[in-house]
């Protein structure tokens, strides 16, 4: 089953996992230590993030390390960019309006 990447990042635990492994690759046990939940619950989150291709597994000996999949994160950023431009434009308009009001009060 193909999962939606935005459903995956909607969950706060999965966002926290992404933040942790953005800094360094981590094992499931190392990740689980950061949460007040079971190792199995963390594994479920990891599976969902892997299915969405937001993270990838790397085997090192007997350990599995999870790391961020930068390419997929860039796709999310690209989608968000359209909204970022709208917000920046609106903030710019607000700055202009506030400056105009401030200048009128000085008169």
Mean pLDDT value across residues 70-86: 89
**Which residue matches tokens 């999310």?**
76
pTM: 0.75
Alpha-carbon Rg for the chain in angstroms: 20
Whether the per-residue pLDDT at 1 is higher than 60: the answer is: no
Q: How confident is the model at residue 15 (pLDDT cuts 50, 70, 90)?
A: very high
Q: Residues 29-61: pLDDT tens digits?
A: 999 999 999 999 999 999 999 999 999 999 999
Whether the per-residue pLDDT at 2 is higher than 70: the answer is: no
The region of weakest confidence among 26-30, 44-48, 74-78 is 74-78
Q: Please name the residues in contact with 52: beta carbons below 8 A apart, sequence gap of 6 or more.
A: 3, 4, 5, 8, 72
User: Which residue, 38, 39, 42, 40, is CA-closest to 13?
Assistant: 42
Instruction: Give the three-state DSSP class for 44.
Output: helix
| Whether 52 contacts 3, CB under 8 Å | yes
């Amino acid at each position: 089953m193909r999962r939606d990447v935005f459903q995956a990042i909607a969950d706060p635990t999965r966002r926290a996992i992404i933040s942790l492994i953005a800094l360094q690759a981590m094992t499931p046990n190392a990740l689980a230590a950061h949460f007040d939940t079971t190792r199995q619950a963390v594994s479920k989150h990891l599976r969902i993030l892997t299915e969405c291709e937001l993270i990838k597994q790397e085997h090192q000996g007997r350990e599995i390390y999870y790391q961020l999949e930068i390419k997929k994160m860039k796709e999310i950023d690209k989608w968000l960019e359209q909204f970022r431009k709208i917000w920046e434009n609106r903030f710019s308009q607000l700055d202009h309006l506030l400056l105009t009001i401030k200048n009128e009060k000085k008169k």
